[in-house]
Amino acid sequence: MRHLRFLALAAPVVILPLVACEDDGGGSSGVFEVPETGTFEAGPVPEAGPPSEAAPDVVVPSGVTVTVLDGTTPKADVRVLFHDTTGAITGDQKTNATGRVVAATAPAMVTVLTLAPAQFGTGPSPVTYVGVADGDNLVVKLPRFENEVPAEGSYTVSLAAPFDGAIGYYVNAGTCGASVGDPAQPTVVPLYPYCVGATNAVLVSAEGEVNTLAFAFAKNVAKPVGATNVNVGPLTFAARGTATITATNLPANTSRSTSFNALANGVAFSTGSGIGLLNESGVAYPHAIGFADAIQTSVAAAEFSEGPGGSTRVIVRREATPAGANPTFAYDLATLLPALTGVTVSQATPSRPDVTWTSASALTGADAGAIELSWSLGGQGAASARWTFIVPPGTTTIKVPAVPADAPDFVPSEAQVRFFGFVESTLLPNYAAVKALPIDPVSGGPIRELADMPLPANGTVRLTTWGGNRG
């Protein structure tokens, strides 16, 4: 039986690890976090007039704050380096008990020397921000290994009746899930902190031979208090609708993929497999009528490549749930960001390689870019390392900054490009907004992650990416 998949947990359909987004459109549990800076819109322009002593002083941002979190817990004693524009070290501090380092004046670059949890198979995982400015709040957020966290209560889901023709059933509660053994008997879904919120949606699919036949659901179900159980149901099935994704101006020599997700109580639910071809009548997905608070779809075009790399361009769009049982979501792929065409690594200075990349045309509309380098630490069974860089739009080359002599594992010897990409979003109007997003040094966010997250509001995300050596 096919298990439902969540956008928050895995990349949709057949795409590179970061594929699944579109138009312009937050942190834990795979949610795209908008920085806590209020709206991105500028305030009103004051009218001209004589100065007033009562008028408030204009506060000019100063300094930079770096915060390191282990999940949601502040992480102390993480080394933070400040650099000048050449990458030379101008400061070397460790995070305090609140997980923070504060610089009174913004350096040109900041590097956080994080170590990934051992369960992720990665060792040193530094993060460097290029183009740091006064007022920046930079957050590096280490992931927590899910199996370390015990279940916190459960939902017991019951069905009013089976659905005719169904050969299997699956229940999702938030991003937790379970197969239904006997639809006549209640199904217990263990709930973990990383997959449920204060209130949650529960979606049950009735599966046929080829695809989903019907859905039953409940929304705004309270999270159990402590290790208790909450009964949900009996839920009644209703026949599915069909949502179709279409596109025009498909680029030549590309493979295309799509995703369709129903957003409910802050979680993206994949409601089934898409059937059809994007360049013909469109790709049809099962649609749970009346379930979604909003719909998030995506279209991706990946260029055929014989090598380890390759260009993938994605548009992700979140919008209000259309009326009717059979909505259509149309895309114009002429609005894709320019393709990335190649990347080179020069290790003329072995400890500080230079990375240069090219694109089919200027990425003038992008908000930011991200580059990931990876290398082996050597030795049998040794872990690998990876380095994530967040760079301003328009950047075409970087030089790895210096690291202290007493941190040799952070030197990227024989580094390869694992991934690089650029993003443009209606929810992230500038580079400062991207720098304010929490970065997971293991997954290489935020740009890679934006393709796999529920957007917090209606809008669009456009990505152009290049996948290199994906270790």
- What is the 3-state secondary structure of 237-291? CEECEEEEEEEECCCCCEEEEEEEEEEECCEEEECCCCECCCCCCCEEEEECCCC
Q: Is residue 295 in a domain? A: no
Intervals of the chain under pLDDT 50: 1-29, 35-56, 380, 469-471
- Residues 211 and 190 occupy one common structural domain: yes
CA distance 208 to 169: 9
Residue 199 lies in a domain: yes
DSSP 411: S
Residues 177 and 224 in one domain: yes
- Tell me how far apart the alpha carbons of residues 109 and 89 are, in angstroms, rounded to a whole number: 9
Whole-number pLDDT of residue 47: 34
How distant is the alpha carbon of residue 441 from its chain centre?
A: 12
Is residue 123 situated within a structural domain? yes
Whether 448 maps to a domain, the answer reads no
The kind and range of the H/E element at 434 are helix 431-435
5 located within any domain: no
Tell me, what amino acid is at 363? L
Among the three residues 239, 263, 298, which one is the final residue of a domain in this structure? 239
Measured distance CA(111)–CA(125) in Å, rounded: 10
Q: What is the pLDDT of residue 281?
A: 86
Q: Looking at the structure, do residues 181 and 102 belong to the same domain, yes or no?
A: no
What pLDDT, in 10s, does the model give residues 389-444? 999 999 999 999 999 999 998 999 888 998 899 999 999 889 999 999 999 988 76
Q: How many domains does the chain have?
A: 2
Indicate if the alpha-carbon torsion angle 130, 134, 140, 141 is positive or negative.
negative
Is residue 71 in some structural domain? yes
In this structure, what CATH number is given to the domain that contains residue 187?
2.60.40
Domain boundary among 239, 272, 292: 239
CATH of the domain at 80: 2.60.40.10
pLDDT at 4: 32
* Domain edge (last residue) among 218, 239, 260: 239
What is the C-alpha separation between 428 and 426, in angstroms, rounded? 6
Residue 128 belongs to a domain: yes
180 and 226 within one domain: yes
For the whole model, what pTM was predicted? 0.83
Alpha helix locations (H) across 264-321?
none
For residue 16, what pLDDT is reported? Answer: 29
Alpha carbon distance 83, 110 (integer Å): 6
Q: How many CB atoms lie within 10 A of CB 134?
A: 13
Is the same domain home to 224 and 193?
Answer: yes
Instruction: Say whether both 179 and 198 belong to one domain.
Output: yes
Collapsing DSSP to helix, strand or coil, 450 comes out as helix
**194 lies in which domain range?**
148-239
Instruction: Tell me if 110 is assigned to some domain.
Output: yes
Q: How far apart are CA 214 and CA 77, in angstroms?
A: 52
